[in-house]
Amino acid sequence: MTVQDEVFEKRLQHHHDELRWLYMELYNNGAMFAELVEQLKVYYKQRKRSLKALDQKREQEPDWFKKRDMQGMMLYIDNFAGNLKGVMKKLSYLESCNANCIHLMPFLDSPEGRSDGGYAVADFRKVKPELGTMEDLAELASKCHRRGISLCMDFVMNHTSEDHEWAVKARQGDGEYMSRYFFYDNYDIPGQFEKTVPQVFPTTAPGNFTWLPEIGHYVMTTFYPYQWDLNYRNPRVFNEMMYNFLYLANQGMDVIRIDAVPYIWKQLGTDCRNLPQVHTIVRMMRMIAEIVCPGVVLLGEVVMEPQKVAPYFGTVEKPECHMLYNVTTMATTWNTVATRDARLLKMQMDIINELPKEYTFLNYLRCHDDIGWGLDYPVLKTWGMDEVAHKRYLNNYFRGLEGGGESRGELYNEDLVTGDARFCATTASMCGVESALDQNDEEKLERAIRFDLMLHAYVLTLSGIPMLYSGDEIGQLNDYSYHDDAAKSVDSRYVHRGKFNWDLAKNSKDSTTCQGKIFGGLRELEEIRRRESVFDADAQVWTEDAGDISVLCITRQKGAEKMTGLFNFSENDKTVWVSDSGEYIDLQNEKKLSLREIVVSGHDFIWAKKSEEM
Ligand code: GLC
């Protein structure tokens, strides 16, 4: 046995029994399990030497992705730089944004006009021709690695495109392939599912099934009708999807985002979300990664309420995902913006701060998707707020129609039956930059920029990895041009999926411009975050009452180092009090200050570090 073989065998031995146990529990199929193990070895053998070396390094340093200098940026390859080769040329720009973990939005082959932004994959082993090739991807990964940048990509495992080879064969009536999806020749079972399964896209893609007249069957389509749900009860589906996962990992990916993971197991009579079998599958995936490519981090996309999210970390002994999106905090942050009431956000943060420090969250203000108003309504109810009325207020506020908001944006998937709707816009537009520019109002613009920076400072204060949405670093605005594109016009998420504006990016060094103010302001904050050990993942974090419901107060402490962040979600200046009587310095300008009684300007913030020995 070679040294490399030994490494593999050792890892396999470590996980074999648990992996087999879970596999047999789900599939009771020894032959398929044997095939899986055989293939793990094949993918391990195919893995490049340099990646194996990185794996071994990261095994020694399993917290490599939790360092306080980790900072993500998510971008669409075409919007940002045309194609993969273009991204290679822009790595210095990304470095100037302090981004060292790049999430490339879906880029695998998917049919034009039926792609759901690339989340309908027709071939897991082919890059969209207009973006480049698999070789380009691997080349980009090694270029990134040389600069200490990690790459993240999506693994869309809940469904395939209707153009995927399996779907094409299934549509021709091939039973073997039909069994990889959910096919029904009449509406009995689909009808029963519809009674308990909510809708993801109630307006743009109502229902969870699609009728295929050419073969007289319904097929399950939780998302768009052209995204066919895979049937993970079939071990062939699980095995093949794991091979695809490993194939992609072997191109040099550092982070794999498991798309829509709560949906992957379906059971009649349930809501088909977060079922126990989903956790079995994610746990198996984690072990498979630890056997073949332990340098790879799993990022779960779990857009659910907090009680449903944390279980995807698994347990400390039996971990599932390494990282999860801090989605409720994100939605609650925008709720705080619209209400100027930080109480719910404080409660949300207290829940997160109680979780084990091993859990790593990805913190963000905006991403490529809409903002769903997934708030803690039972709590809001005790404060006299009704869910439907409150959502209506939020959507009105962010369209600039109510509550004195200067935000601009569009509704998403407005459900005319329930009155529900989600919201789409860029950070800068939501902070009022767009309306200030429209009104040519310098003073409003200054305030909007300050607000934008305050929200970013707050995200940078949270434990975990801050993830910026490309364009936010220069305050990019909503892009309404998608209205004229027939393939996109029904999906308002495109309002915040515009082309990156390189002309405006040229202003990023000019501090008299809007772009320069945001870019420069962010850089300064990011550099403070990198420098100060209070931002370490294992710091103690708690919230405090600062005496005003509009002001959120977060304290971080690491050893003798302590800092307090005060974030004013109101447009009015606020005077607040923090109990600690010591002397502090303002991390932005090094000036001394006391938190006993301090004014935080409207929509502004203070990062104060305790200056004396404790
Ligand atoms: C995820 C993606 C979203 C997509 C959906 C279906 O939620 O973030 O953009 O529509 O999965 O794949």
What is the tens place of the pLDDT at every residue in 204-260? 889 999 999 999 999 999 999 999 999 999 999 999 999 999 999 999 999 999 999
Mean pLDDT for all residues in the chain: 96
How many whole angstroms from 109 Cα to the centroid of ligand 1? Answer: 16
pLDDT at residue 389 in the model: 94
How many whole angstroms from 334 Cα to the centroid of ligand 1? Answer: 21
- In single-letter form, the type of residue at position 132 comes to G
Task: Report d(CA 592, CA 300) in Å as an integer.
Answer: 42
- The catalytic residues are 259, 301
The CB of 374 under 6 Å from ligand 1? The reply is no
Confidence of residue 293 (pLDDT cuts 50, 70, 90): very high
Confidence of residue 298 (pLDDT cuts 50, 70, 90): very high
pLDDT at residue 614 greater than cutoff 60 = no
Are 565 and 455 in contact by the 8 Å Cβ rule? The answer is no
Of 223, 364, 491, best ligand 1 pocket probe by most atoms within 8 Å of the beta carbon:
223
How many whole angstroms from 370 Cα to the centroid of ligand 1? Answer: 10
3-state secondary structure of 213: coil
Query: What sign results for the dihedral spanned by CA atoms 62, 66, 68, 74?
Result: positive
3-state secondary structure of 321: coil
Confidence of residue 613 (pLDDT cuts 50, 70, 90): low
Instruction: Choose between 420 and 256: higher pLDDT.
Output: 256
Verdict on whether the full-model pTM lies above 0.95: yes
pLDDT at residue 57 greater than cutoff 90 = yes
User: Secondary structure of 14-42 in the HEC alphabet?
Assistant: HHHHHHHHHHHHHHCCHHHHHHHHHHHHH
pLDDT at residue 376 in the model: 94
How many whole angstroms from 103 Cα to the centroid of ligand 1? Answer: 14
Instruction: Give the residue, by CA position, lying nearest to ligand 1 atom 8.
Output: 369
Of 116, 370, 493, best ligand 1 pocket probe by most atoms within 8 Å of the beta carbon:
116
Overall average pLDDT of the 40-54 stretch: 97
Task: Report d(CA 167, CA 228) in Å as an integer.
Answer: 8
What is the tens place of the pLDDT at every residue in 533-589? 999 999 999 999 999 999 999 999 999 999 999 999 999 999 999 987 789 999 999
The CB of 119 under 6 Å from ligand 1? The reply is yes
Task: Report d(CA 200, CA 197) in Å as an integer.
Answer: 9
pLDDT at residue 522 greater than cutoff 90 = yes
Instruction: Give the residue, by CA position, lying nearest to ligand 1 atom 11.
Output: 260
Q: Which residue has the tokens 């429209």?
A: 438
- In single-letter form, the type of residue at position 398 comes to F
| Structure tokens given for 316 | 């400390």
What is the tens place of the pLDDT at every residue in 311-359? 999 998 999 999 999 999 999 999 999 999 999 999 999 999 999 988 9
Task: Report d(CA 497, CA 469) in Å as an integer.
Answer: 10
Beta strands (DSSP E) in 261-419 are 297-300, 323-325, 360-363, 410-415
